[in-house]
Amino acid sequence: MVRLLLAGSALLFTTTAQAGMLPVEKADLTLGFIKLTDMAPLAIAYEKHFFEDEGLYVRLEAQANWKVLLDRVISGELDGAQMLAGQPLAATLGYGTRARVVTPFAMDLNGNAITVSNAVWSLMAPEIPTEADGRPAHPISAAALKPAIAAANADGRAFGMGMVFPVSPHNYELRYWLAAGGLNPGFYGPGDAKGQIGADVLLSVTPPPQMPATLEAGTIAGYSVGEPWNQAAVFKGIGRPVVTDGEIYAGNPEKVFGLTAEFAERHPNTTLALTKALIRAAAWLDADGGANRPEAARLLSSSAYVGADEAVIAGSMTGTFAFGPDDVRPAPDFNVFFRDHASYPYYSDAVWTLTQMRRWGQIPEAKPDAWYDEIARAVYKPAIYEHAARLLIEEGNADPRDFPAGSDGYKSPSAAFIDGIEYDGRHPNAYLAKFPIGLKGDATVTSAGVQG
């Protein structure tokens, strides 16, 4: 017998035990998420009964913001949650809140974009080359922002943009894009959470669902956020996306499933069961060339999950992206949940995030390459993922060809970035040395700027 209870933004699923399940140490679980389309693996694992198949009684609960979500995982109020890729790493380093947080599962790659107001777009557009059909040529460089920044400064105003959290991929993608266009996004100094030292563009935190309203109010000139909040600006007619994160860094690490190391150690079978269910959900989302995505968009539109219009969610979820009402383009890689080994927790993805923390001063001192590898291994847990995958293959619920064979946790070097700079996760310091803007070597940040 199956019983479904719905209470506000929380969902509770119960089921009788089934044969063949792992002997989970804790069956009743509460998992957190933020109202973004890339929480989809959690919703699908719930809706398609993949949690149930593992003997898990799961409650999915929307959280107010990323800080609240992390704090509640650390306190034990939540057993696990969708997290920004940087959150488990930052917590382990003690940047913000110190805690041992791990991830056995990457929830998705890509999924974000950068949007500007209509007024800013009107100043950018003349700076952007056009394609043969008259549309803006992509990817659009942040250098096109310079007239808008100059106009704001001439009026005595700073030029500000929003991102969702200091250790979010959105922050690092926005900074990467700005720096690749010759604009300094600012540095974090000792005891400084703003990251605006020496900045040409002032970046500040805005919760994802509030981005469009904050843009419309004129509080910020643009923002970096996940879906559906870029497409919402197009539908509302208040702004225009200018670049996707896939154009900034193709296949960038986005969200992960995080839980405390203590939980994983005390409840190894429960952690394994969760990972199995999430792998099946990710596979469902990318199956048959995205054939399930329209259904996913319908499910996510529920107020219990994202609570946005189904049509707004469906755009990017089904492989297109609207840069404007008159500029809708194919975007088959906008959200990648499973294919190309997207759900595998690669050490190299962790190291890339750490390089960006170092580049902008959140890691204040130089670290040897071995340190980056050590932190990546402390947080990312591919062995759990691989164990879960083997069990799914044995059960006939997964295809062995869908998983990386003999991985050492590091992807091959890639230059799939907007500036063409190659990244090799095995050599993070050599990578940092390539950037004209950003910390490298023994450089540090003071209130007066970069030293060394």
Q: What is the pLDDT of residue 20?
A: 55
Q: What is the pLDDT of residue 275?
A: 98
Check pLDDT > 50 for residue 217.
yes
Q: What is the pLDDT of residue 270?
A: 98
- Cα–Cα distance between 71 and 266 in angstroms, integer? 19
Check pLDDT > 60 for residue 15.
no
257 conformational bin, left if phi > 0, alpha if psi -120 to 50, beta if neither: beta
Q: What is the pLDDT of residue 387?
A: 97
Mean pLDDT in residue range 161-190:
97
Check pLDDT > 70 for residue 3.
no
**SS3 for 14-37, per residue?**
EECCCCCCCCCCCCEEEEEECCCH
Q: What is the pLDDT of residue 284?
A: 98
Tell me whether strands 28-33 and 57-62 are parallel, antiparallel or unpaired: parallel
pLDDT tens digits, one per residue of 54-66: 999 999 999 999 9
Q: Give residue 5's pLDDT band: very low, low, confident or very high (50, 70, 90).
A: very low
Residue whose C-alpha is closest to residue 110's, from 207, 15, 40: 40
pLDDT tens digits, one per residue of 255-307: 999 999 999 999 999 999 999 999 999 999 999 999 999 999 999 999 999 99
- Cα–Cα distance between 299 and 44 in angstroms, integer? 8
Check pLDDT > 60 for residue 39.
yes
Q: Give residue 406's pLDDT band: very low, low, confident or very high (50, 70, 90).
A: confident
Q: What is the pLDDT of residue 223?
A: 98
pLDDT tens digits, one per residue of 323-338: 999 999 999 999 999 9
Contacts 24+ apart (CB under 8 A), 64-72: 64/207, 65/34, 65/165, 65/207, 66/34, 66/164, 66/165, 66/168, 67/96, 67/165, 69/32, 69/33, 69/34, 70/97, 70/101, 70/258, 71/97, 72/32
Q: What is the pLDDT of residue 449?
A: 86
Average pLDDT over all residues of the chain: 93
Mean pLDDT in residue range 411-422:
98
Check pLDDT > 70 for residue 73.
yes
Q: Give residue 12's pLDDT band: very low, low, confident or very high (50, 70, 90).
A: very low
Residue given tokens 């809140």 in the structure block: 97
Check pLDDT > 70 for residue 8.
no
Residue whose C-alpha is closest to residue 349's, from 371, 389, 370, 377: 377
pTM of the model: 0.94
Q: What is the pLDDT of residue 14?
A: 32
Residue 377, SS3?
Answer: helix
Q: Give residue 221's pLDDT band: very low, low, confident or very high (50, 70, 90).
A: very high
Q: What percent of the chain has pLDDT over 70?
A: 96
Which domains are assigned to the chain? 2-111+252-320+334-402 (3.40.190.10), 112-250 (3.40.190.10)
- DSSP letters spanning 78-129: SSEEEEETHHHHHHHHTSSS---EEEEEEEEEE-EEEEEEHHHHHHHGGGS-
Q: What is the pLDDT of residue 212?
A: 96
Better pLDDT: 24 or 9:
24
pLDDT tens digits, one per residue of 338-363: 999 999 999 999 999 999 999 999 99
Other residues' Cβ atoms within 10 Å of the Cβ of residue 413: 13
